[in-house]
Every structure is written in structure tokens, then in C-alpha cells.
Amino acid sequence: MAKNQYRIISLGGSIVIPPEGFNIEFLKKFRELVLQRVKLGEKFILVIGGGSTCRKYQQAIKESAEVSNLDLDWLGIYATHLNAKFVSQLFNGWSEPELIIDPTKKIRSKKSVLIAGGWKPGCSTDYDAVLLAKNFGAKEVINASNINYVYTADPKKDPNAKPLPNLSWTEMQKIVGDKWNPGANLPFDPKAVKTAAKLKLKVSFVKGTDLNEFAKVLEGKTYQGSVIK
């Protein structure tokens, strides 16, 4: 990794704000881990998803009124902005106060931590993370979510789902399909998969709440998780 190169981390919203409520101890330890790396000279762009916050809003409005997929997407985007602003304040003093909401925009900053939220309808923050990797010349995106592997199927629904430590972008495309649905709970969104494949990006999947494994990814060590390239 080149000196002064930002590392791109796509952080699931449910890692930041779990369905059961804030985990203050985790937030403190996550902050400490990132700042340890910053003090070693590393720089990060944290792309924050909507997670369960987004899905709760979307589900509530679908049950209360007729709304379009476009409206649902915008609701999800604003949820990512709220989550991202929270993370920005978590790194107050170290992070740029202004959120990145356009991943294609050229950005100049002396801060070591930049925070991004959602951009446009039709995709998730996974796609934004991929575009930020392209924008900043990064070769890898670290995807920290609430699962430790990409599986052959949703392990919550299919007891026969198997973890995949290594897979190609072609294999990943078969798992996620081609269609984006607002609030979809996929390991990586279909649009992000297509773009990452074209860019020949490496995406490392790790369970974000397991900070020991997350630290191994940052250190370039072998970890429990999936690698796509």
C-alpha cells in the first residue's frame, strides 16, 4: 500500500447500530483500533451503511403508505447519512466534519479519517465504497459486516449454506444476482459486484464485530473471512 493511501472500509450499518441497540463497549474498542492504525501513519475512508436502521424505516413506511422504490432508496440513503454523522463524531478531531456523499468527487483533506454515506438510489453503500476505491486508487475494499464469510446461500435461511473463504467475482455474481432491491440484505450489492469485477478489486470480507479478526485484516495477516478477486 502506497504511503498516504486511504484504505477503504465498507462498514455495515448494523455494526454501528445493531438492531438491539448501541454497543458502547464495541464502539470504544473500534475507535481505539482505527486510531491505533492512524497513529502508525495509516489513513481510512469509512463508508457507513444503513443497516437495520434503514430497514426499519423502509418496512414501516411500506406498511403505512404506498411508496416507490425510489422513495425507499432515498429513505435508506438518509439513514446512512445519520449513521455516518454518528461515526464522524465518534472520530471527532481526527475526521473531516463534512461527509462524503459523492464518491466520484475529488477530495483534498489533511485528515486521516474520512466518513462517507450513501449517494444515489439504485445501489447500496457497497457501490459507493467501490467507487471511492477507484477515485482514490485503492486496490482493496474491506467489507466489515455482521457475517464472517460469504456463503453459498443465506445461512439464516438455509442450514446447508457453506462458507466460501475464496471466490471469484463470477461466483459472487451468481450468489447476489443482477437486481437491486431497496433494503436488500446481500453480502455485496449486485452493482458493486459488477464494478469491482471490472476494476479487478480485491474485497476482503470480515465480521466487523470481531475486532481481533478485523485487526488481522488491517495488518495483512491471515484471518477468518472471505476474499473475492
Copy the grid coordinates of residue 211.
475486532
Q: Is residue 108 part of a domain?
A: yes
Report the Cα–Cα distance between both ends of the chain, in Å, rounded. 17
Q: Is residue 35 part of a domain?
A: yes
Task: Quote the pLDDT of residue 49.
Answer: 94
Task: Quote the pLDDT of residue 164.
Answer: 94
Q: Is residue 194 part of a domain?
A: yes
Q: Is residue 214 part of a domain?
A: yes
- Give the chain's domain count: 1
Task: Quote the pLDDT of residue 177.
Answer: 86
Q: Is residue 1 part of a domain?
A: no
Task: Quote the pLDDT of residue 166.
Answer: 95
Instruction: Say how many residues make up the chain.
Output: 229
> pLDDT of the chain along its 229 residues, tens only?
555 689 999 999 999 999 898 999 999 999 999 999 999 999 999 999 998 999 999 999 999 999 999 999 999 999 999 999 999 999 999 999 999 999 999 998 999 999 999 999 998 999 999 999 999 999 999 999 988 899 988 888 888 999 999 999 999 999 888 888 776 777 888 999 999 999 999 999 999 999 999 999 999 999 999 999 9
Q: Is residue 17 part of a domain?
A: yes
Q: Is residue 81 part of a domain?
A: yes
pTM of the model: 0.94
Q: Is the dihedral of CA 98, 83, 47, 76 positive or negative?
A: negative
- Per the structure, the complete domain to which residue 206 belongs is given by 6-228
Task: Quote the pLDDT of residue 1.
Answer: 55
How far apart (Å, rounded) are the C-alpha atoms in residues 54 and 135?
Answer: 26
103 close to 135: Cβ distance less than 8 angstroms: yes
Q: What is the CATH number of the domain that holds 83?
A: 3.40.1160.10
Q: Is residue 65 part of a domain?
A: yes
